[in-house]
């Protein structure tokens, strides 16, 4: 339990609300340089593969999913997934981000077979199955979370992404995503994955009508898990993209809110090494400024981003534009892998277009 009346909690909320913007940025930048003393900004080339859009979770903020039996529902065949991986590797991609809806028609063996198929025929790092999906599998297939992770890992899963975190406060989740993993379950998957030797990332999607205190509680909960496991490699935050969702009347948050939220995250999450700039949702310009508000990583040159783009707000860039944005902001660019180790070889020429 997080004590919302503790002096530290109250102080952080006050800083988030009231500190002058540039002062908040300065504090976050100092924390960033404590972790990464060099003027280097990293990024990864990967591909988001949404293996199915069929989902029974009915999250109010989601424009991507289709209910079972909907004409536009799909499950990608293995061969299609294999083709997408080959295209990703051809431009220097080093991982796939494999996520999907909570599809009640897919058996567990399909997921295991998919892992084996990818490793056998299209080997690449598989960053897949958000904690919400893992909880769905556990409930649907009558397995414990530990068993689900163990079996997926044995079949080829390399790491777990932090998707579906939204705001880790049950009162908020109950309102916007009550059919999927609640806070303890979501964090429990992360902790179990860490226990089994996997590194994972963690996210926060804000702007769901939550309070400032809810956002800070989210950060405190994440920090608490990290103190026990040290298994999170990175934190990423971005605002709700409400267009086309049941939450379309929810006011959009602005760039200043993004920068303040990123900065306070960098300050609170002093035990997480990397924070990503979310330029895909905020645009390259704000993405550059984010590098002075705590971010040391430019996330991904993503070949596909179906979930955010389904809500209409997504920015795209070529590799050259993305690298230029980093160098123009005053940093050296380095390509990386999922675990943040650096890659020396340049990407294939085709990716430089
Ligand atoms: S966010 Fe994920 S779990 Fe929620 S409705 Fe969309 S696809 Fe389903």
Predicted confidence (pLDDT) at residue 350 exceeds the cutoff of 90: no
The answer to whether residue 5 sits within a structural domain is no
Structural domain count, the chain: 1
In the numeric block, the tokens 């700039």 are attached to 277
The answer to whether residue 16 sits within a structural domain is no
The predicted pLDDT at position 170 comes to 97
The predicted pLDDT at position 318 comes to 79
Compute the CA torsion angle 202, 208, 213, 214 (nearest 10 deg): -50
CB 113 within 8 A of CB 81: no
Q: What is the pLDDT of residues 66-111, one digit of tens each?
A: 999 999 999 999 999 999 999 999 888 999 999 999 999 999 999 9
CB 235 within 8 A of CB 265: yes
Residue 143, φ and ψ in degrees, nearest 5: -115, 155
Predicted confidence (pLDDT) at residue 310 exceeds the cutoff of 70: no
The continuous run of DSSP H or E covering 121 comes out as helix 108-121
Burial of 321 (C-beta count, 10 Å sphere; 0-12/13-18/19+): exposed
The predicted pLDDT at position 236 comes to 96
Burial of 209 (C-beta count, 10 Å sphere; 0-12/13-18/19+): middle
The answer to whether residue 114 sits within a structural domain is yes
CB 336 within 8 A of CB 42: yes
The predicted pLDDT at position 320 comes to 85
The predicted pLDDT at position 301 comes to 74
The answer to whether residue 217 sits within a structural domain is yes
The predicted pLDDT at position 311 comes to 52
Start-to-end Cα distance in the chain: 50
pTM (predicted TM-score) = 0.93
Q: How much is the mean pLDDT over the chain? A: 93
- Radius of gyration (C-alpha) of the chain in whole angstroms: 19
Cα 150 from Cα 262, distance rounded (Å): 33
The answer to whether residue 196 sits within a structural domain is yes
132 lines ligand 1 (CB under 6 A): yes
Render 76-104 in DSSP notation, one character per residue.
--HHHHHHHHHHHHHTT--EEEEE----T
C-alpha of residue 101 to centroid of ligand 1, in Å = 5
DSSP state of 350: G
The predicted pLDDT at position 317 comes to 75
Which domain, by its residues, includes 233? 39-352
92 lines ligand 1 (CB under 6 A): no
What CATH number does the domain containing 313 carry? 3.20.20.70
Compute the CA torsion angle 298, 248, 135, 72 (nearest 10 deg): -100
173 lines ligand 1 (CB under 6 A): no
Residue identifier of the C-alpha nearest atom 2 of ligand 1: 101
The answer to whether residue 332 sits within a structural domain is yes
Q: What is the pLDDT of residues 211-249, one digit of tens each?
A: 999 999 999 999 999 999 999 999 999 999 888 888 988
Predicted confidence (pLDDT) at residue 305 exceeds the cutoff of 90: no
| Closest to 180 in 3D by CA, of 248, 244, 102 | 102
The answer to whether residue 305 sits within a structural domain is yes
Q: How confident is the model at residue 353 (pLDDT cuts 50, 70, 90)?
A: very low
C-alpha of residue 172 to centroid of ligand 1, in Å = 16
| Closest to 342 in 3D by CA, of 36, 47, 134, 63 | 36
Predicted confidence (pLDDT) at residue 17 exceeds the cutoff of 80: yes
C-alpha of residue 55 to centroid of ligand 1, in Å = 6
331 lines ligand 1 (CB under 6 A): no
Which has the higher per-residue pLDDT, 247 or 350? 247
Q: How confident is the model at residue 306 (pLDDT cuts 50, 70, 90)?
A: low
- The answer to which of 164-178, 196-210, 221-235, 292-306 has the lowest mean pLDDT is 292-306
Residues 6+ apart with CB under 8 A from 81: 49, 51, 98, 114, 117, 118, 122
The predicted pLDDT at position 313 comes to 53
Return the axis-axis angle of helices 7-18 and 21-35, rounded to nearest 10°: 120
The answer to whether residue 132 sits within a structural domain is yes
Return the axis-axis angle of helices 145-155 and 131-141, rounded to nearest 10°: 110
Residues of the chain above pLDDT 90, percent: 83
Q: Which two tokens stand for residue 260?
A: 């303040």
Q: How confident is the model at residue 304 (pLDDT cuts 50, 70, 90)?
A: low
Q: What is the mean pLDDT of residues 327-353?
A: 83
Which of 145-149, 252-256, 339-343 shows the highest mean pLDDT? 145-149
């Amino acid at each position: 339990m997080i004590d919302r009346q503790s002096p530290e909690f109250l102080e952080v909320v006050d800083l988030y609300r009231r500190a002058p913007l540039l002062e908040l940025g300065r504090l976050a930048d100092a924390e960033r340089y404590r972790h990464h003393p060099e003027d280097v900004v990293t990024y990864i080339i990967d591909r988001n593969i949404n293996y199915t859009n069929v989902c029974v979770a009915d999250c109010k903020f989601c424009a991507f999913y289709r209910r079972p039996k909907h004409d536009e529902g799909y499950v990608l065949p293995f061969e299609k997934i294999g083709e997408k991986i080959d295209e990703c590797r051809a431009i220097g991609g080093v991982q796939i981000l494999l996520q999907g809806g909570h599809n009640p028609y897919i058996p567990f063996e399909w997921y295991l077979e998919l892992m084996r198929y990818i490793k056998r025929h299209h080997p690449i790092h598989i960053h897949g199955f958000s904690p919400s999906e893992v909880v769905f599998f556990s409930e649907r297939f009558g397995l414990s979370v530990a068993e689900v992770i163990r079996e997926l890992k044995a079949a080829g899963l390399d790491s777990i992404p932090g998707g579906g975190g939204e705001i880790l406060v049950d009162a908020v989740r109950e309102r916007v995503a009550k059919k999927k993993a609640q806070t303890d379950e979501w964090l429990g998957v992360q902790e179990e994955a860490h226990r089994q030797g996997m590194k994972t990332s963690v996210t926060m999607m804000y702007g769901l009508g939550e309070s400032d205190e809810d956002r800070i509680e989210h950060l405190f909960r994440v920090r608490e898990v990290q103190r026990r496991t040290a298994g999170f490699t990175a934190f990423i935050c971005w605002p709700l993209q409400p267009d086309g969702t049941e939450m379309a009347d929810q006011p959009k948050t602005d760039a200043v809110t993004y920068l303040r939220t990123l900065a306070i995250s960098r300050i609170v999450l002093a035990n997480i090494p990397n924070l990503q700039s979310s330029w895909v949702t905020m645009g390259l310009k704000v993405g550059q400024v984010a590098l002075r508000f705590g971010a040391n990583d430019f996330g991904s040159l993503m070949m596909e981003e179906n979930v955010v783009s389904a809500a209409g707000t997504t920015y795209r860039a070529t590799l050259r534009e993305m690298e230029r944005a980093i160098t123009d902001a005053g940093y050296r660019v380095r390509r990386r892998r999922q675990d943040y180790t650096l890659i020396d070889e340049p990407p294939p020429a085709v990716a430089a277009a």
